[in-house]
A and B are shown apart, each in its own frame.
Chain A
């Protein structure tokens, strides 16, 4: 109560900013993963399932071994496996990647709820964070500046991916395959293989994003954990124009929107809590309308991605 009194409305701003950093991490990882997948020319709508599966398997591993980082790794591998499934099915002729993605979404969540039943009660060790706010006497500022390790990794990953897509052989090949399958075939690249690997890499990152949910914030495993973040990440990638650095910014924006409800609650505004809680969904709708156009194609969209054709 005291902190909110002293900081006044600034308290909301600080809580939203701190929340943005905390909540944005899964958005960031999932959107970076989906950027890789879509740069290769496929859309994986099963991200939500991968996210939940990652959360469950990461949590379970951490509970059983006591090692949260091992949990992150296992979550990534679970995501990569689901990504591989998506990639292999889409390699078959006349298979639609959107339909496969939706079934993967249902499969992933169902499987996670089934396998995750035993882990609802036990508590797992949490992931570490950097405490950059120790200098402050305000608890709000201190809690806002607890920067989690995965967020920092995600930030550098966004920088790395931006660089790698331009400056590495693999980056060029991935973009070629995603932009023009004809050109890629003429150059002798194996289009299906590259796309499958892109989906696997995307699945790994999405799984890591999921482990954040259960191992850091909110930090438990339950069935309502994700609330559609994996699906919103698809919209996020479109708004970020398939650019990893923009993914970082837009993930922060989505994180801030998600943190709005809890932030208002800290200063005593709790009347329309659920309405504020819906802020990220409004944001998704608004951004999609804003970035759509009847007159021109989406700038920056990989040419082979079915949602932009």
Chain B
């Protein structure tokens, strides 16, 4: 799109196909001879677990990677796509979850940035007119002068879509688009995509691991597993069971965690009138009250950015509170090392490599961080007993199935699932009274997910007070005995598990009331 002129009615989206795509990273075959046709005007879902090759496939298509073999065919012609710019010129556009918007700039500035014909001096009044017109044709509205840093995650996602349309993309690749949205926002966004595809304005390639989205919004589906195309077809002709079988290779994953029927005990973790500020000095958690009883999982649902991270950072001792108090086992809790030890408080924070591990240290050292200064890891009071640490690590590695080259391998060389297992092993290896967990299964495959959820449930069954903060509503519905919704730093809604209604919860995730 060049200078601000009224664009002609757009041609239909191109017919895109990949044939025999193969991509290797060293000895790992990320993509193995995959052929898929994305017909114009359809929503085509790429379904698969993490690491199945979905992202690799679209990155080859978008010119971020060069495939080792295979061709891309657009409207019947073989094309070479060596960089994202070429992909863009062919009408392919990728909608990212984040990181392509410039935080300090306004919506309008972000929109014109990608415009290749942007003149040296920008005629803002004309551009603003043009952008207003474009925005008016959208089913949702975003004020053009708002800075990106003030937008919620869902709004950023919408802006990414507007940006691709503004830049003239006809085939939109959506990479796990709903992971940052409330259920209603996700439905609205995907519904909109489906409508625009039906109007032949765009084609959509939807990368997802959520079966519900495939069933509700996609017309066609291709399933990838371990880099291979294992199934393909019209969504209407495939059952839920078919899709699961294709995706994980067998009927079902491990049994869902079994919940022991036990009455909730006395209060394990209490929060009274807690107020916390974020990095910008604004209130992130406002006057929050919460009680988690022993033998109970309380799940905090909410779209990310509503104060969950600040809340958990206070519980972890990583952030100071402005007001209020935290009570563990009946007395005030400040998160000092002695208190953590005496009251048996354990934490499983998101992004464990950053928040709960020392990158450069070995698996054994990371496993011993909690108690390296206590028996049996201490010799002569001041010396660390390396032998004992190593032996303890071997035991935990075995018990928790951590896949590592050995206890001496550096923690950062492990895969995400195994880092999570390592932290879990450290935090759950002793008796637990209070367990705080945040997004424990983010980015893990279905088996690792099931295993970790089972361990959390076991801790609850053994009588721990468990606080689960998760952006994955399904996870909360599966695990929690009581569900609390966090919105703009406050707990706005509470429901016991038996009466939980997804739409009611979703409504509170999006607004007060």
Contact = CB atoms under 8 A, between A and B. Distances in A.
A186 B164 CA distance: 13
A297 B280 contact: yes
Contacts of A180: 99, 101-103
A299 B124 CA distance: 25
A293 interface: yes
A179 B102 contact: yes
Contacts of A42: none
Contacts of A295: 277, 279, 281
Given A186-B84, A297-B280, A172 B112 contact: yes
B118 to A, nearest CB: 5
Given A186-B84, A295-B277, A176 B105 contact: yes
A175 B280 contact: no
In this complex, which of A179, A183, A186, A299 has the most chain B Cβ atoms within 10 angstroms of its Cβ?
A183
B124 A167 contact: yes
A94 interface: no
A300 B149 CA distance: 11
Interface residues of A, number: 24
B121 A168 contact: yes
Contact of B118 (A169, A183, A184, A186): A169
Contacts of B121: 167-169
Contacts of B103: 179-180, 303
Interface string B98-114: 01111111000100111
Nearest to A302: B104
Nearest to A173: B113
Given A172-B112, A295-B281, A296-B281, A186 B100 contact: yes
A224 interface: no
Interface residues of B, number: 27
Contacts of B278: 296
In this complex, which of A169, A182, A188, A300 has the most chain B Cβ atoms within 10 angstroms of its Cβ?
A169
Contacts of B112: 172
A175 B102 contact: yes
A168 B102 CA distance: 16
A38 to B, nearest CB: 13
Contacts of B100: 182-183, 186-187
A170 interface: yes
Interface string B119-157: 111101000000000000000000000000000000000
Contact of A176 (B99, B113, B120, B277): B113
A300 B282 CA distance: 16
Given A293-B281, A296-B280, A179 B105 contact: yes
B124 A296 contact: no
Interface string B65-103: 000000000000000000111000000000010011111
A297 B279 contact: yes
B122 A169 contact: yes
A183 B160 CA distance: 12
B120 A188 contact: no
Interface in B43-67: none
Nearest to B83: A188
A173 B83 CA distance: 19
Interface in A132-155: none
24 contacts: A167-B122, A167-B124, A168-B120, A169-B119, A169-B122, A172-B118, A175-B104, A176-B113, A179-B103, A179-B105, A180-B99, A180-B101, A183-B99, A183-B101, A186-B84, A187-B113, A188-B83, A293-B281, A296-B277, A296-B278, A296-B279, A296-B280, A296-B281, A303-B103
Smallest CB-CB A-B distances: 6 pairs: A296-B281, A182-B99, A186-B100, A296-B280, A179-B102, A183-B100
Interface of B: 83-85, 96, 99-105, 109, 112-114, 118-122, 124, 277-282
Given A293-B281, A296-B277, 16 more contacts: A169-B120, A169-B121, A169-B122, A172-B105, A175-B104, A175-B105, A176-B113, A183-B101, A186-B84, A295-B277, A295-B279, A295-B281, A296-B280, A296-B281, A302-B104, A303-B104
